[in-house]
Amino acid sequence: MIGKRQKLPKVTDLFKTMPNKRVKPSEENKAEEFQAKSIRIVPHQEGQWATFVYIKPPSEFCSKLIKTQQTILLPLLSENFPELSYDFSEADSLHISLSRTLYLKHYQLESFKANLQKQISNIERMAEIITKKLVFLVNQEKTKIFIGLEATTESTYLLELSNACDRAISDELKGLPEPELAKILFFKEPTFHFTLVSVNFVDPEEKEQITQLCDRLKKSLASVKIKERSFQLSDEKVRLKMGDQIYQL
């Protein structure tokens, strides 16, 4: 059975100015809750640290995206698909993923961080990131549909960053069989985006129907006009989360 629709959270602006060194977990616990909601593909093992790379946008930009969520997506989804269960992103959890989550041993953390910093050091960070189009994506496990806004640039900046992450991951996991490594590296043709709404599809016997549901959602929201918004990345940092530790790169 599909669960009951959850209430939309209040719009909050919980961003804080962060130092160039490690961010204290107490300052970022709420802002990083989005990762805790993910379905874990790799079984938990003692001593493994969940690790991933992402971009954190300015708080003002995030508040504007949440306004789109509240004023456009919420009313349409409530009216056309009241039977579905939703998780609505909060302003402080919005981000652009640059890697999938990988699981590292404690002794691998410093070498991976150093290599990642080296890989991205020559990439110019003066891109303008633009959102103007809704996207609909199904997760690998076919349990969720993500409705969000595509993040684009006039250059290949985001793809360059993602490729740099993949190179650092490949170096760290050298020796891993190719089929296993392919499951950890980022998508070959990624759609960079901000997730605004997650649609929960939890019936294990009906996973094949999730594509049909995604098409219905897309058709229902096809006429939605999205205001173009953008932010400059020059003053922002790429972030690395390793376990409960967050670093700016």
For residue 216, what is the domain's CATH number? 3.90.1140.10
Q: CA-CA distance, 148 to 228, in Å (whole number)?
A: 13
Classify residue 7: in a domain, yes or no.
no
Classify residue 50: in a domain, yes or no.
yes
Structural domain boundaries enclosing 136: 25-248
Q: Rounded to an integer, what is the distance from CA 202 to the centroid of its chain?
A: 20
This prediction has a pTM of 0.81
Classify residue 66: in a domain, yes or no.
yes
- Give tens-digit pLDDT for 133-180: 999 999 988 889 999 999 999 889 999 999 999 999 999 999 899 999
Classify residue 1: in a domain, yes or no.
no
Classify residue 154: in a domain, yes or no.
yes
Q: CA-CA distance, 191 to 131, in Å (whole number)?
A: 12
Q: CA-CA distance, 165 to 159, in Å (whole number)?
A: 10
- Confidence at residue 201, expressed as pLDDT on a 0 to 100 scale: 81
- Give tens-digit pLDDT for 89-124: 999 999 999 999 999 998 999 999 999 999 999 888
- Judged against a pLDDT cut of 70, whether residue 243 lies above it is answered with yes
- Confidence at residue 125, expressed as pLDDT on a 0 to 100 scale: 76
Report yes or no: 9 and 62 within 8 Å, Cβ to Cβ: no
Helix (H) or strand (E) holding 39: none
Q: CA-CA distance, 109 to 129, in Å (whole number)?
A: 29
Classify residue 14: in a domain, yes or no.
no
In degrees and rounded to multiples of 5, residue 212 shows phi and psi of -65, -40
- Confidence at residue 111, expressed as pLDDT on a 0 to 100 scale: 95
- Confidence at residue 34, expressed as pLDDT on a 0 to 100 scale: 40
- Confidence at residue 11, expressed as pLDDT on a 0 to 100 scale: 32
Classify residue 17: in a domain, yes or no.
no
- Rounded mean pLDDT, 193-218: 88
Classify residue 88: in a domain, yes or no.
yes
Residues whose CB falls within 8 Å of the CB of residue 177, separated by 6 or more in sequence, listed in order: none
- Confidence at residue 163, expressed as pLDDT on a 0 to 100 scale: 97
Report yes or no: 53 and 99 within 8 Å, Cβ to Cβ: yes
Of 244, 247, 238, 249, give the one whose Cα is nearest residue 106. Answer: 244
Joined tokens for residue 80: 């056309």
Q: Residue 206: pLDDT band by 50, 70, 90 thresholds?
A: confident
Report yes or no: 96 and 57 within 8 Å, Cβ to Cβ: yes
- Confidence at residue 127, expressed as pLDDT on a 0 to 100 scale: 87
> Total domain count for the chain?
1
- Give tens-digit pLDDT for 14-71: 223 333 344 444 334 443 444 434 444 445 566 789 999 999 999 999 999 999 999 9
- Confidence at residue 24, expressed as pLDDT on a 0 to 100 scale: 43
